[in-house]
């Protein structure tokens, strides 16, 4: 009789729940949005209770639409928006709104720490840069600004965690307060080499270690369900990973040199560097990919290099909403195919500054090389080329840091459905692009970790045997054409 895995993908604007079969088929799906809270410019918050309600609603929708025996659910996996910070009391109730990864309220504090010379030591231990994106200064802000919270944290009446921690706490009926290394490594409080919460970092941000969750492996049973509407008690929670690491696992990038790119609003690239923690000299972030049992019987850490481009799919949205040259995002491919090339036009998608590896927040988007012959088709094609070219910058930097040569790139996310973009990416990188049938790799990764954690699948090889590829894109552009495009891109970026 078939068994199933529930995968909870808790995102920034909504929660998705997938019910997966042993053959990796999506049996059913549920989704629920929740409200965003903007207390003032640059601040972004979530009500943890509405997050939990969205998970309950999505879970109910997925279970109600599937005619299965719920006792056949073998495990639950969780993936989540990573750096968003939650604070709850011992009674399980939130003590403040969650501060979201997008929130910039601690920018001045990060600048102060950089001026005080803390950047090098923080980066050496955590693989991260001093930025309000990460959780450390969010927790520090809560401790300093919420009356009485600091003393509550000191005496064990307040606890901090990321969204995975909060969800496991609720799913387990309040019995577990845990996280995994992929999420812990996004807090600026976790030492990548020592693989634990760091005394000096916690002291720097004034965070009592006792208020932080226990760090458990990404794969393996960490808790069991209790009192969850619609679910039997005793289902193992056996997989945890932050969203981008989960997508890396969901794309079966298990070995060093394997990489994935998620094409969403922005583009997120992760390169598996294996057991080797690779410090970046080229503007990348170093992070934990996952912790899971090895074939030798002991737990093994895998690390990754991460780079992100702020604008990818959002560039197509701008062509639609800002310029009005398309009516829907799906029109971009046909319009770009209507011309043989961009006519020398280069589009740099720096609409929100340039991220890795340039890190130029002052940069602005650019359309360069316009002539009287430039039309909608050339601009559309240049936009797709720009999305692909900025990913080349990221992966070139990752290869330089790691000494690993990219063998292929696995892709997911909404824009990965664009065949022309995927072909351009293959041409410009000079490697095969692999697109799976299931583009929800983030949810799939959490489900795979959970299934492996309870022995539903016995090995990564067994998972690979049922993994389904939609299409492979192989390079076909001449080396001289690629070189010319990259040179013009470099010139355009220098003008932003």
pLDDT tens by residue, 308-367: 888 888 889 899 998 999 998 889 999 999 999 999 999 999 887 887 788 787 788 999
Does 421 have pLDDT greater than 80? yes
Contact assessment for residue 19 and residue 462, using Cβ atoms and an 8 Å cutoff: no
Q: What is the mean pLDDT of residues 369-397?
A: 93
C-alpha span between 139 and 427 (Å, rounded): 44
pLDDT of residue 310: 80
The pairing of beta strand 178-179 with beta strand 214-215: parallel
Q: What is the DSSP letter of 264?
A: S
Instruction: Note the residue count of the chain.
Output: 496
C-alpha span between 407 and 389 (Å, rounded): 18
Does 245 have pLDDT greater than 90? yes
Q: What is the mean pLDDT of residues 108-133?
A: 91
pLDDT of residue 41: 86
What DSSP assignment string belongs to 81-104?
-SS-EEEEETTS-BSSPEEPTT--
Cis omega (within 30 of 0) for bond into 357: yes
Q: What is the mean pLDDT of residues 98-117?
A: 90
pLDDT of residue 335: 94
Does 295 have pLDDT greater than 80? no
Q: Is 361 exposed, middle or buried (0-12, 13-18, 19+ CB in 10 A)?
A: exposed
First and final C-alpha spacing in the chain: 59
pLDDT of residue 428: 95
pLDDT of residue 1: 59
What angle (nearest 5°) sits at the alpha carbon of residue 302, between those of residues 299 and 306?
155
Q: DSSP 3-state assignment of 154? A: helix
Identify which has the larger pLDDT, 50 or 282.
50
For 126-140, write each residue's pLDDT tens digit: 999 888 889 999 999
What token pair was written down for 361? 């927040």
């Amino acid at each position: 009789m078939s068994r199933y895995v529930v995968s909870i993908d808790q995102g920034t604007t909504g929660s998705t729940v997938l019910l997966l079969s042993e053959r990796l088929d999506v049996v059913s799906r549920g989704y629920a949005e929740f409200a965003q809270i903007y207390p003032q410019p640059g601040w972004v918050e979530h009500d943890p209770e509405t997050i939990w309600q969205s998970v309950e609603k999505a879970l109910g929708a997925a279970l109600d639409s599937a005619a299965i025996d719920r006792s056949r659910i073998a495990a639950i996996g969780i993936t989540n928006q990573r750096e968003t910070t939650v604070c709850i009391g011992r009674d399980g109730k939130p003590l403040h709104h969650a501060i979201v990864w997008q929130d910039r309220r601690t920018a001045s504090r990060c600048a102060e720490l950089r001026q005080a010379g803390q950047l090098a030591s923080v980066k050496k231990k955590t693989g991260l840069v001093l930025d309000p994106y990460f959780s450390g200064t969010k927790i520090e802000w809560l401790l300093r600004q919420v009356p009485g919270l600091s003393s509550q944290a000191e005496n064990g009446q307040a606890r901090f965690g990321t969204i995975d921690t909060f969800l496991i706490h609720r799913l387990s009926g309040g019995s577990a307060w845990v996280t995994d290394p992929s999420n812990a490594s996004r807090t600026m409080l976790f030492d990548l080499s020592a693989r634990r919460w760091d005394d000096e970092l916690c002291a720097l941000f004034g965070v009592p270690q006792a208020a932080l969750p226990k760090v458990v492996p990404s794969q393996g049973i960490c808790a069991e369900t209790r009192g969850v509407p619609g679910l039997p008690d005793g289902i193992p929670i056996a997989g945890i990973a932050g969203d981008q690491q989960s997508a890396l696992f969901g794309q079966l990038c298990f070995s060093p040199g394997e990489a994935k790119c998620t094409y969403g609003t922005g583009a997120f690239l992760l390169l598996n560097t294996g057991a080797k923690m690779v410090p970046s000299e080229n503007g990348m972030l170093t992070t934990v990919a996952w912790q899971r049992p090895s074939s030798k019987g002991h737990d093994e850490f895998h690390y990754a290099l991460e780079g992100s481009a702020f604008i990818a799919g959002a560039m197509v949205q701008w062509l639609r909403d800002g310029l009005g040259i398309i009516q829907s995002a799906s029109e971009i491919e046909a319009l770009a195919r209507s011309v043989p090339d961009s006519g020398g036009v280069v589009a740099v998608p720096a609409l929100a500054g340039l991220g890795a590896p340039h890190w130029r927040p002052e940069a602005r988007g650019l359309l360069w090389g316009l002539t009287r012959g430039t039309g909608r088709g050339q601009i559309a094609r240049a936009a797709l080329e720009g999305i692909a070219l900025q990913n080349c910058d990221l992966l070139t930097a990752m290869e330089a840091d790691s000494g690993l040569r990219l063998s292929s790139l696995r892709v997911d996310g909404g824009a990965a459905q664009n065949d022309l973009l995927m072909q351009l990416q293959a041409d410009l990188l000079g490697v095969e692009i692999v697109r799976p049938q299931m583009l929800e790799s983030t949810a799939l990764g959490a489900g795979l970790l959970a299934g492996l954690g309870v022995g539903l699948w016995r090995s990564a090889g067994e998972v690979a045997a049922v993994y389904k590829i939609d299409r492979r894109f192989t390079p076909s552009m001449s080396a001289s054409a690629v070189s010319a495009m990259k040179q013009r891109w470099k010139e355009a970026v220098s003008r932003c």
